Amino acid sequence: MKDVILGLVGVGRIGVMHANNIAALNGVLNPRGINVRLRLTDVAEDHARNIAAGLGAGFVPSVAHLIDSGVDGLVIATGTGTHPELIRAGVDAGIPVFCEKPVAMNVADALPVLDYIRDNNGVVQIGHQRRFDAGYLEAKRAYQAGELGWIHSLRAVTCDMTPPPVEFLATSGGLFRDCSVHDFDILRWLTGREIVEVYAKGSNNGDPAIGEVGDVDTALAVITFDDGTVGTVSASRYNGAGHDVRLEIQGSSRSVMVGLDAKSALASAEAGVAFPEGEPHQTFAERFDQAYRSEMAAFVELILGERENPCTPEDAVAASRVADAAQESLATGAPVKVAVTVAS
């Protein structure tokens, strides 16, 4: 049996979910001869102690203690502003790092981190979990197999039911950077093409506090790919029907939609149509439960040298470039060209 010790820093909204998933990994990995253990830390010490106790995990008082304790990989689930410093700490320790998206608050802050990782031979996986979602994987397979023909339109949607706390929004970088960056990433990943121009609009019809911290509660971007294909990426914090994440890919031969299932958060306006008959997802954690679990299993495989990095920092920064352009377009009211990188 191979032992892998994961050190997790940050047990807030997403960190608690990762902690639970790591604790449950052994059910999947033990049959393959891999045993995963968890140690965690958070500046909110009492909270972290409680989470650790509940999961039978170890608690340590700081990131330095976590690294010194000899973990095999570092999982970063703290707020975005802390990512560069913590990625560097993991790279300095010579251990693989999993860091929640994004690499940094914006591309300018991320570029020195990319240099640091490359110059120090760091291994860093970024948390774009949709790359592990069964629906997106099937859509990519179908497109790459030629089953859709050529794509004429793409429509991506990411809507929360209710906004996260305004304190979080104040430091999130804006709706496109926080939310739509997942759509920008998956669109590059699925098509293998770069988004070269973004034209964004937004609105604030919900809590005025969101506008007061400089964000919008709803936005839509028209995107253009490097081959001229067009698409839209829309997001909202106020989708009362449920957590709604979908991608419609319309091809010359066939069209598919990711996220169109019994739990879709929309109803047909047509008489006699009962679909979708299930209860809609309420949160991103529910919607991507399987993807988050697979993502963490992939990080263990990356640590063990059993797989390629499924989402490199360069991939994540390429998506962030599009998000930055969308934020700029939103602020200026004009279309913005995206500095092009190579899709992977």
Task: Name the site residues for ligand NAD (rule: CB under 6 A).
Answer: 9-15, 41-44, 63, 77-80, 82, 100-101, 127, 129, 168, 284
- DSSP strands (E only) in the chain: 2-9, 34-41, 58-59, 73-76, 97-100, 124-127, 151-159, 195-203, 218-225, 230-236, 244-251, 255-258, 336-337
Q: Which of the 8 DSSP states describes residue 129?
A: G
Find the residue with minimal CB distance to ligand NAD: 12
**Are the CB atoms for 132 and 295 separated by under 8 Å?**
yes
As measured in angstroms, the least distance from the Cβ of 310 to ligand NAD is: 13
Phi, psi at residue 205, to the nearest 5°?
-110, 0
Nearer to ligand NAD, 25 or 77 (CB): 77
**Are the CB atoms for 242 and 282 separated by under 8 Å?**
yes
**Are the CB atoms for 73 and 25 separated by under 8 Å?**
no
Nearer to ligand NAD, 172 or 218 (CB): 172
Nearer to ligand NAD, 148 or 300 (CB): 300
Nearer to ligand NAD, 106 or 129 (CB): 129
Greatest CA separation for the chain: 63
As measured in angstroms, the least distance from the Cβ of 93 to ligand NAD is: 15
As measured in angstroms, the least distance from the Cβ of 192 to ligand NAD is: 22
Q: Which of the 8 DSSP states describes residue 121?
A: T
As measured in angstroms, the least distance from the Cβ of 61 to ligand NAD is: 10
Nearer to ligand NAD, 26 or 171 (CB): 171
As measured in angstroms, the least distance from the Cβ of 101 to ligand NAD is: 5
| Three-state SS at 224 | strand
Nearer to ligand NAD, 10 or 251 (CB): 10
As measured in angstroms, the least distance from the Cβ of 258 to ligand NAD is: 15
